[in-house]
Structure 1
Amino acid sequence: MTGGSDEHQEAAVDGQASQTPDPRPRRGFWFGLVVAIVKPFMLVFTKPEFTGRENMPRSGGVVFAPNHISHFDPLVLGFYIWECRRIPRFLGKASVFKIPVVGRIISSAGQIPVYRESAQAADAFRDAVAAVERGECVGVYPEGTITRDPELWPMTGKTGAARIALMTGCPVIPLANWGAQEIFASYSGKLRIRLLPRKRIQVRAGKPVDLSAFRGRPITNQLLHEATEVIMHAVAATLGELRGETPPKELYDLRKARAADDGEEKA
């Protein structure tokens, strides 16, 4: 997947392949297998439009924080990060790692399982911090689940990305994707994948989130929630740039929505 044909494909991805592109990172056998499967698939069945790659650091520990609109978007985002000359290390639900064959591949490729509400719940966070401190590129979905916002804007977030960034001093890159929901519309009641006709998929990296107001201070829950709010609004703003729309000033709060629904049921 190197050489002249690969560079031609990259030019098709974002229309501006560099004359002297950065070298590819060493990917190892298992991640190389993922690239060999996913990249040709994406180029055949989607129309990728990738922008903002200059905002993704080419080296050093970094957290990227994407919006989540579909079960398909990890493939889209992983492809994007690879085109940024980085190897993505996603935090993902532990159940995915238990799928035969698939689980073995993604685990061996260095992805990080998240065991929710168990004695192993803290392991993912420690593994993510360790990966960042090794200089790796770690992906954290701050929403924790696919957005339930009716217009598919990002929801309020959990504090994991902020905590990793403030503990390690690494930058947080807001990442927005759009179009994956046309391929797999999660929670729509239509659980089917639509690959044809080819769908336009867009991904954009925004500038690093300014967390300077929070660094060097005691890491309290209040501080983490404030930093997370800044991160989520940066993600929403980046998505707004992709969609050509203005994001809502107040992001959808899934907890409040569920509490309101429970209150209506009890009433």
Structure 2
Amino acid sequence: MSVRRVQDRRGWAINFAVATIKPTLLAATSRTWIDGDKIPATGGCLVVANHMSHVDPLLLAHFVYDHGRIPRYLAKSGLFRTRFVGTVLTSANQIPVERLTKSAVGAYDAAVRAVDDGECVVVYPEGTLTRDPDLWPMNGKSGAARIALATGAPVIPVGHWGAQEVLYPYAKRPHLLPRRHITMKAADPVPLDDLRALPQTPQVVNEATDRIMAAITDIVAELRGETAPAERFDPRKAGVRQTGNPHDTKDRP
């Protein structure tokens, strides 16, 4: 497992996270990191990954950090409204996203600026925990593709498996014993150069999104040793709510 030293200035919030969260992850999980050196050591880039547990952002941050980059996340805005967590996230230059609102444009602009400034921005293209019953990556949203097309930065797909054993989607209690094993793998940049030469029509953005999700799904299928579904799960077609616990009916009319 190759590891690179972080060269960027970290700041107190990143130092705090490394000092408190990383030892917990090391104690609670074992891990196999594969091809993390495919994440560029310097320069603006996007890391895109599947999302199936509330703990996997911490694990993905661990993976990215171990390979020499400080991850900058697009994170749901509600986290920033918690006093302590919000202070840490803001100080660590994370980017709040108002999901499913016009305010999400501000997050897009901030992400483009961050990539253009040479930062490593992490995006979950699905926008929320997968709704697929078998935890396969579902249909992606356009944000990651639009950032990639606007910046020309490399898009590094990452797939992972095992986080659901630590904390299943929307479960309230993690399973820390026995230690769960996490496997995370990066792959070559998603080929998007031909699309960058075209006007950013909805069709071009959709094609870029599909390529990103296909790259992530291919890695997950490899890690699971299974064949992915021929068609990715679409929450809208299935009538599943797009945010929050899809199994919680208390907020429904």
Structure-1-length-normalised TM-score: 0.86
Amino acid at match of 1:150: P
Aligned equivalents of 2:166, 2:226: Cα separation in 1: 21
Aligned equivalents of 1:107, 1:205: Cα separation in 2: 27
Describe the shift of the 1:227–1:101 C-alpha distance in structure 2 as closer, same or farther (beyond 3 A).
same
The aligned counterpart of 1:224 is 205
Amino acid at match of 2:28: F
1:22 is displaced (CA, Å) by 4.7
The aligned counterpart of 1:11 is none
2:194 to 183, 188, 213: 213
2:183 to 180, 202, 210: 202
Pair member with larger Rg? 1
Secondary structure of 1:49's counterpart equals: strand
* Cα-to-partner distance string for 1:137-192 (whole Å, 9 max, x where unaligned): 001110011111111110010011111111110011111111111111114xx421
The aligned counterpart of 1:80 is 63
Does the 8 Å contact 1:91/1:113 carry over to 2?
yes
1:94 to 65, 77, 97: 77
The question of 1:109 aligning with 2:109 is answered no
Aligned length in residues? 240
Does the 8 Å contact 2:158/2:216 carry over to 1?
yes
The aligned counterpart of 2:18 is 35
1:242 is displaced (CA, Å) by 1.4
Aligned equivalents of 1:95, 1:23: Cα separation in 2: 29
Aligned equivalents of 2:75, 2:33: Cα separation in 1: 23
Structure 2 residue runs of 5 or longer lacking an equivalent are: 241-253
The aligned counterpart of 1:248 is 229
The question of 1:145 aligning with 2:128 is answered yes
The runs of 4+ residues in structure 1 deviating greater than 4 Å are: none
Does the 8 Å contact 1:115/1:121 carry over to 2?
yes
Structure 1 residue runs of 5 or longer lacking an equivalent are: 1-13, 260-267
1:100 is displaced (CA, Å) by 2.4
Amino acid at match of 2:132: D
The aligned counterpart of 2:217 is 236
The question of 1:166 aligning with 2:149 is answered yes
Aligned equivalents of 2:217, 2:104: Cα separation in 1: 27
Does the 8 Å contact 1:38/1:79 carry over to 2?
no
Aligned equivalents of 1:171, 1:110: Cα separation in 2: 21
The aligned counterpart of 2:243 is none
The aligned counterpart of 2:167 is 184
Describe the shift of the 1:244–1:119 C-alpha distance in structure 2 as closer, same or farther (beyond 3 A).
closer
- Bigger drift between 110-119 and 64-73 goes to 110-119
* Cα-to-partner distance string for 1:68-104 (whole Å, 9 max, x where unaligned): 0101100000000001100000001000111221111
Amino acid at match of 2:153: C
The question of 1:126 aligning with 2:109 is answered yes
Q: Percent identity?
A: 47
Secondary structure of 1:101's counterpart equals: helix
Does the 8 Å contact 2:52/2:130 carry over to 1?
yes
1:118 is displaced (CA, Å) by 4.3
Q: What is the aligned-residue RMSD (CA, Å)?
A: 1.4
Aligned equivalents of 2:101, 2:52: Cα separation in 1: 26
Does the 8 Å contact 1:180/1:201 carry over to 2?
yes
Amino acid at match of 1:99: T
